[in-house]
Chain A
Amino acid sequence: MRSDLLTRVTPVFRNNFNAPDLVLNETMTAKDVEGWDSFAHINLIMALEDTFNVRFETSELGQIGCVGDLLTLLESKGV
């Protein structure tokens, strides 16, 4: 379930951006989260890879425009 997945990625985001109260929604982009720059993005990706035991390809990393894109990508990897 999509909303389930949103719940599962939330702690990874909170930890990565040091924002314990962060509430995610699908349309959020990097602009909406403080500190979400290219460096933090890679950290986030590494944390997601660790957490869900998946691997993102370089081209996929370029396609992520918003949180929803990320969830779609995770779903396509069977998460």
Chain B
Amino acid sequence: MTFAEAHTRLQTHLRAGHLPQAAGALRDALQEPFKFTELQQLNRTNAASEAAWRGHLSARSLRIAILGGFTTQPVREVIRAVVLAEGWWPEIYEAPYNTFETEPLDESSGVHAFAPDIVILATGSVNLHELPPPGADEALVAQMAEQVVAGCAQRWQALCRRDGVRIIQHNFETPADLPLGRLEGRLPWSATRFTREVNDRLWTHDGGAVRILDMHQLTSDCGRRHWHEPRWFHHAKHGFDPALVHHYSRALGGLLRSMLGRTRKCLVTDLDNTLWGGVIGDDGVDGIAFGSISAAGEAYAAYAHYLKRLSTLGVALAVCSKNDPAVASAVFETHSEMPLKKDEFAAFVCNWEPKSDNLRSIAKHLNLGLDSLVFVDDNPAECDEVRRALPEVTVIEMSGDSAYFPRRIEELQLFTPLDITQEDFSRTASYAALRQISTLTQTPGAGLEAHLASLEMEGSIHQATTGDLPRIEQLFRKTNQFNLTGATYTQDALAAMAAAPDCRVYAVRLKDRFAAHGIVSVLVARLVQEEWQVDNWVMSCRVFNRRLEDAILNHALADALASGCSKVAGLFRPTAKNDYARTFLARLDLLPSDSSAEVTYSVPASRPALPHSIHLI
């Protein structure tokens, strides 16, 4: 699908009032290359349906301030589109041209009055006012780089004085003009080496509320000569050629997705003509194009290797193919060059049912929302069926030359998390364990208790330490299903609570004979008038159906009683996705089972029994 086709679909869906499908079409459009004027048209289409969008998003909006060191209209147009595509109506403040240094420090400036959720500091090497003088030694270069970063840090601090503000800071691309030629790489005082020094220092600040948008990488992806278009810079102070705006959109979109907890979690791939060339049912294991048999085969194998690397970084892989399962399995079991093994897939679905039905059951089986899935298929008809039936699913139509498949996945920046934690590396093993448990829970009397006992689970519940905070922040941001109130916390806020005597930040770890899952649940509680008020409690879907939640609540209550309190209480705020948590609270008779409104609960009445299958240490 081209950008123009997706735009036409967007218009059709908006006219028909089909907002979920419109959101899907908007995401499809942003996958494709587009010109700057096309992006403006897309935004005009959406602006004309603002009321419908706001209704669809239940008035959920995101306030974004843009502070630039160059012309920021392209940044604004990108934000309008990518924020809406992920499910927030964008409210934008665009500071006057080149005021990124003064606005943050001036309490009475527009950015402070606007009260943003996110501030983008859109700067470029054109804003590096001072380059090291020729012949400067490394110490001076380092000192000057420190100064640039100190200036950035001062702005972040000023902007973050209001709670909950998050920052996107551009790092610096190699400047347009490099008079030293080859020596740029060798001499520490060159512009090339200087920007590298600054960027290395900026990266050490990437974490918590401040996130770096890697303009250096983006510029080299696009080519420095293309990125810097001197005509547009001299005429309109463009920081980059607006013709490349779709590359910027992908980079910024990827970072925003991860900041908003919208990083996709599972890639569901088709097989025939997607993971290999040809049709396995016709061609057989030796007849398909895969591996060294041909150049095309090499390309498909490269795609398989790419998926494998994604999987080791924590992306769940699944198969959804119209095939005989035994025939398709043979490739994974017997093809000597196939790097993926069947048990590396969190789900392996081969049948002749509509793919949308299969995707629905894959999502359910993995305890994931449909909007966490990315569906990859070469067949336009299958893609279309999924787009229509399940507009929440991100669809990648993998048509054309197989040599470009990995790049196509990479360019869309759907899977890059905000941080990589230890827990991400073990996720594939967790999904394998989940597959077994989920089979058992679906079969009554299949011996769930016995199975849980056989997992040899070992849990620990401790007050969070500093090293735990990145994972804890991530868990609150990413967890939808076992999430009682939706509250999220910055790492600073978590650190303050973990240190406060009247707060508890319980970090729960779990391991079993398959994997050490790391921190899988966090419960934050505050002491309010002799009772522990649960501020929020989340648990990863990787450890559902193990009675771990019972153990945690049991522990929290025991802790509360030991410290002289009478009970643990809290609020449950239902969402479209947290039914698992509601079911849990209802099982303990803490909630009416049909409650769809916000409701408070209180624990002493029915403290859950400590499950036998989890050994707490």
B-contacting residues of A (Cβ < 8 Å)? 15-16, 18, 38-39, 41-43, 46-47, 50, 56-58, 61
Contact between A42 and B232, CB atoms less than 8 A apart: yes
With A18-B44, A38-B236 known as contacts, the answer to whether A61 contacts B35 (CB < 8 A) is no
Q: How far is the CB of A55 from chain B (nearest CB, A)?
A: 9
Contact between B242 and A42, CB atoms less than 8 A apart: yes
Q: How far is the CB of A50 from chain B (nearest CB, A)?
A: 7
Report the Cα distance A26→B459, complex, angstroms: 79
Contact between B242 and A43, CB atoms less than 8 A apart: yes
- Residue B129 is within 8 A (CB to CB) of chain A in the complex: no
- Residue B71 is within 8 A (CB to CB) of chain A in the complex: yes
Contact between B231 and A61, CB atoms less than 8 A apart: yes
- Residue B99 is within 8 A (CB to CB) of chain A in the complex: no
Q: How far is the CB of B177 from chain A (nearest CB, A)?
A: 15
Q: What are 28 A-B pairs with beta-carbon distances under 8 A?
A: A15-B37, A15-B41, A16-B37, A18-B40, A18-B41, A18-B44, A38-B235, A38-B236, A39-B71, A39-B236, A41-B235, A41-B236, A42-B232, A42-B235, A43-B36, A43-B37, A46-B35, A46-B36, A46-B232, A46-B243, A47-B37, A56-B231, A57-B231, A58-B230, A58-B234, A58-B235, A61-B231, A61-B235
Report the Cα distance A39→B41, complex, angstroms: 16
- Residue B351 is within 8 A (CB to CB) of chain A in the complex: no
Number of interface residues of B (CB under 8 A): 17
Q: How far is the CB of B62 from chain A (nearest CB, A)?
A: 24
Interface centre among A15, A41, A46 (most CB of B within 10 A): A46
Report the Cα distance A63→B236, complex, angstroms: 15
Q: Which residues of A contact B37 (CB under 8 A)?
A: 15-16, 43, 46-47
Q: How far is the CB of A62 from chain B (nearest CB, A)?
A: 8
Q: How far is the CB of A45 from chain B (nearest CB, A)?
A: 8
- Residue B166 is within 8 A (CB to CB) of chain A in the complex: no
Q: How far is the CB of A8 from chain B (nearest CB, A)?
A: 17
The contact string, 1 if C-beta is below 8 Å from chain A, for chain B 217-250, is: 0000000000000111011101000110000000
- Residue B154 is within 8 A (CB to CB) of chain A in the complex: no
Contact between B242 and A46, CB atoms less than 8 A apart: yes
Q: Which residues of A contact B230 (CB under 8 A)?
A: 58
A-contacting residues of B (Cβ < 8 Å)? 35-37, 40-41, 44, 71, 73, 230-232, 234-236, 238, 242-243
Contact between A58 and B44, CB atoms less than 8 A apart: no
Contact between A39 and B243, CB atoms less than 8 A apart: no
What is the interface of chain B mostly: helix, strand, loop, or mixed? Answer: helix
Report the Cα distance A50→B37, complex, angstroms: 11
With A15-B37, A50-B35 known as contacts, the answer to whether A42 contacts B243 (CB < 8 A) is no
Q: Specify the chain A residue showing the minimal Cβ separation from B35.
A: A50
Contact between A58 and B231, CB atoms less than 8 A apart: yes
19 further interface pairs, Cβ-Cβ under 8 Å (given A41-B236, A43-B36, A56-B231): A15-B37, A18-B41, A39-B71, A39-B236, A41-B235, A42-B232, A42-B235, A42-B242, A43-B40, A43-B242, A46-B35, A46-B36, A46-B37, A46-B243, A47-B37, A57-B231, A58-B235, A61-B231, A61-B235
Q: Which residues of B contact A42 (CB under 8 A)?
A: 232, 235-236, 238, 242
Q: Which residues of A contact B235 (CB under 8 A)?
A: 38, 41-42, 58, 61
Q: Which residues of A contact B41 (CB under 8 A)?
A: 15, 18
A-B interface pairs (CB < 8 A), number: 38
Q: Which residues of A contact B238 (CB under 8 A)?
A: 42
Interface centre among B41, B231, B234, B238 (most CB of A within 10 A): B231
A-B complex: 5 closest residue pairs judged by Cβ atoms: A42-B236, A38-B236, A58-B231, A39-B73, A39-B236
Q: Which residues of B contact A46 (CB under 8 A)?
A: 35-37, 232, 242-243
Report the Cα distance A58→B236, complex, angstroms: 11
Report the Cα distance A42→B234, complex, angstroms: 11
Report the Cα distance A57→B297, complex, angstroms: 47
Q: Which residues of B contact A50 (CB under 8 A)?
A: 35
Q: Specify the chain A residue showing the minimal Cβ separation from B230.
A: A58
Q: Which residues of B contact A15 (CB under 8 A)?
A: 37, 41
Q: Which residues of B contact A47 (CB under 8 A)?
A: 37
Q: How far is the CB of B37 from chain A (nearest CB, A)?
A: 6
Report the Cα distance A39→B35, complex, angstroms: 15
Report the Cα distance A57→B44, complex, angstroms: 30
Q: Which residues of B contact A18 (CB under 8 A)?
A: 40-41, 44
Report the Cα distance A41→B495, complex, angstroms: 50
Report the Cα distance A5→B29, complex, angstroms: 32
Q: Specify the chain A residue showing the minimal Cβ separation from B72.
A: A39
Q: Which residues of B contact A57 (CB under 8 A)?
A: 231
Report the Cα distance A47→B232, complex, angstroms: 13
Q: How far is the CB of B224 from chain A (nearest CB, A)?
A: 19
Q: Which residues of B contact A61 (CB under 8 A)?
A: 231, 235
Q: Which residues of B contact A39 (CB under 8 A)?
A: 71, 73, 236
Q: Specify the chain B residue showing the minimal Cβ separation from A61.
A: B235
Q: Which residues of B contact A38 (CB under 8 A)?
A: 235-236
Q: How far is the CB of B430 from chain A (nearest CB, A)?
A: 49
Report the Cα distance A41→B243, complex, angstroms: 14
Report the Cα distance A8→B546, complex, angstroms: 69
Q: How far is the CB of B425 from chain A (nearest CB, A)?
A: 45
Q: How far is the CB of A72 from chain B (nearest CB, A)?
A: 19
Q: Which residues of A contact B44 (CB under 8 A)?
A: 18
Q: How far is the CB of A35 from chain B (nearest CB, A)?
A: 11
Report the Cα distance A46→B240, complex, angstroms: 13
Q: Specify the chain B residue showing the minimal Cβ separation from A58.
A: B231
Q: How far is the CB of A79 from chain B (nearest CB, A)?
A: 19
Report the Cα distance A43→B35, complex, angstroms: 10
Report the Cα distance A61→B35, complex, angstroms: 21
Q: Specify the chain A residue showing the minimal Cβ separation from B38.
A: A15
Q: Which residues of B contact A41 (CB under 8 A)?
A: 235-236
Q: Which residues of A contact B40 (CB under 8 A)?
A: 18, 43
Report the Cα distance A41→B231, complex, angstroms: 12
Q: Specify the chain B residue showing the minimal Cβ separation from A44.
A: B37
Report the Cα distance A39→B235, complex, angstroms: 9
Report the Cα distance A18→B37, complex, angstroms: 10
Report the Cα distance A46→B243, complex, angstroms: 8
Q: Which residues of B contact A56 (CB under 8 A)?
A: 231
Q: How far is the CB of B72 from chain A (nearest CB, A)?
A: 10
